[in-house]
Amino acid sequence: MTPQSPFTVLAAVAAGREGALRALLDGMNVAGKAGTADPANGVLPFGLFNKLHYARFALLDDSTLADFDLFGLPRPQAPPLYLVFLGVCDGAADAQLAEFAHFAGRGLSRIFSHCEGFNTSTDLLTWMKSHDVHVDTHYVNRIGRTVRQVREESALQKALSARVPRGAAHGTVSDPQVLRQALLDFVKDEQAAGGLALTEPESTPPGWDLRNAIHFVMIPLMLLPLLLVLPFALVILRRQEKTDPEHCPRPDAAAVRAMQGLEDHDLTNSFTALGAVKPGWFRRALVPVILLLIDYAARHFFGKGHLARIQTIHFARWVFIDDRRRVLFASDYDGSHESYMDDFVNKAAWGLNLVFSNGFGWPRTEWLVFGGARHEQRFKHYQRRHQLPTQVWYRAYPGLTLGDLERNRRIRAGVDADRMNDAQALAWLRLL
């Protein structure tokens, strides 16, 4: 089993370089599809890297910091503009960064030359590693599902689907066992001829299972002493919830239209958002604990096809920046932006509140998890105002939703199964 790893290279954009950087990033996209990366673009040809699931470049220009002025509060100290290069890969992130530097070093150097501290003498790989920010919470829809597996299982589904009589989908096959065996024979012949590949999963990296088991045990033990201060924390929390500023004005219509122009070019979309943590020591202490708990749940309970009740998120991450004064959130999800937000409101509003109610201006909550995102319009206004454009976004398997990936996984499992009864064989054929 090959686990997935995130990378998040973050750097401040040098003064006077924003315009040239935007033009360079725009040139990496498919013509007529703003924000959608051309896999073969001449700057960073993402399609060369067969372990890369998703990647993006985004300029973090946070206009919502001005919200602090409305309440007479000092703004968090931050550079005017960041560039973030983030993604998810199979295996170690350092190995992926090294592969980028080796095969696309010239193009990446062109991009990062617009950032502070990067010049012609800078070692690219060392610089990227030094700017690779720790990801505090990382969610993977199905831990261990590699890019190669996705592509091979998609090819298998297409090949088998083309050979199945249409009646199989409606249960009118006279002998499902005979048809299944014919399809299995076809797969073997195609594998022998090199037409289909069904690669066995690689071995789990040495020590990964042990580290995972230690993490599973140690995190609850580390957090156990916090139970002693929980009553005091709840008193402080409730007192602050009654007085925290709420600021959820309707977002600028032109900005929303510009954001919508980056969406729905495929069945999957990206989401990038940035927000400031509420001022004060209490929230800055609380958010790391919450993100640690969510990371724990994502690692041990939610890496098997769902995040709580939501089954449309491929990957997601929360990252602290600016000395824990701001949080960057990024995700890759199926469906429209509106359906994505509705999923959260209807299925996991409490989870949204758990994290984002610590963000400045969030709709008012009670006891951290109630209210907040349940105020649907205020929540939707808030998240649109904090959403940022993704200048360049790459995905390794366009046109495939998580529903497709799960169906294809079950098809592959049916090919590998030694035997099935008639009912199981018919259910497998219906997948095709």
Do 182 and 128 sit in the same domain of this protein? no
Do 52 and 190 sit in the same domain of this protein? no
pLDDT of residue 120: 87
Per residue in 363-418, pLDDT tens? 999 999 999 999 999 999 999 999 999 999 999 999 999 999 999 999 999 999 88
Do 49 and 107 sit in the same domain of this protein? yes
Do 111 and 223 sit in the same domain of this protein? yes
pLDDT of residue 168: 57
DSSP for residue 66: G
pTM metric for this prediction: 0.94
Per residue in 109-158, pLDDT tens? 999 999 999 998 999 999 999 999 999 999 999 999 999 999 999 999 99
27: which 2 tokens? 């040139």
Do 191 and 278 sit in the same domain of this protein? no
157 inside domain: no
Average pLDDT along the chain: 93
Q: Structural domain tally of the chain? A: 2
Radius of gyration of the CA atoms of the chain, in A? 24
pLDDT of residue 304: 86
Q: Summarize the confidence of residues 72-78 as an average pLDDT.
A: 91
305 inside domain: yes
3-state secondary structure (DSSP) of residue 125:
helix
Let me know: does 394 contact 46? Beta carbons within 8 Å. yes
Per residue in 302-351, pLDDT tens? 988 888 888 999 999 999 999 999 999 999 999 999 999 988 888 888 88
Do 108 and 45 sit in the same domain of this protein? yes
Do 133 and 170 sit in the same domain of this protein? no
112: which 2 tokens? 């990062």
154 inside domain: no
Report how far apart, in Å, the C-alpha atoms of 8 and of each of 120, 132, 133 are. 22, 5, 5
- Whose tokens are 């701001």? That residue is 326
Is residue 171 pLDDT above 60, yes or no?
Answer: no
DSSP for residue 294: H
153 inside domain: no
pLDDT of residue 173: 65
Do 185 and 196 sit in the same domain of this protein? yes
Cα angle 147, 185, 401 (rounded to 5 degrees) comes to 30
Residue 238: CB atoms within 10 Å: 13
Domain range enclosing 422: 162-200+401-430
Position 419 confidence tier, pLDDT thresholds 50, 70, 90 = confident
Do 189 and 213 sit in the same domain of this protein? no
Do 182 and 246 sit in the same domain of this protein? no
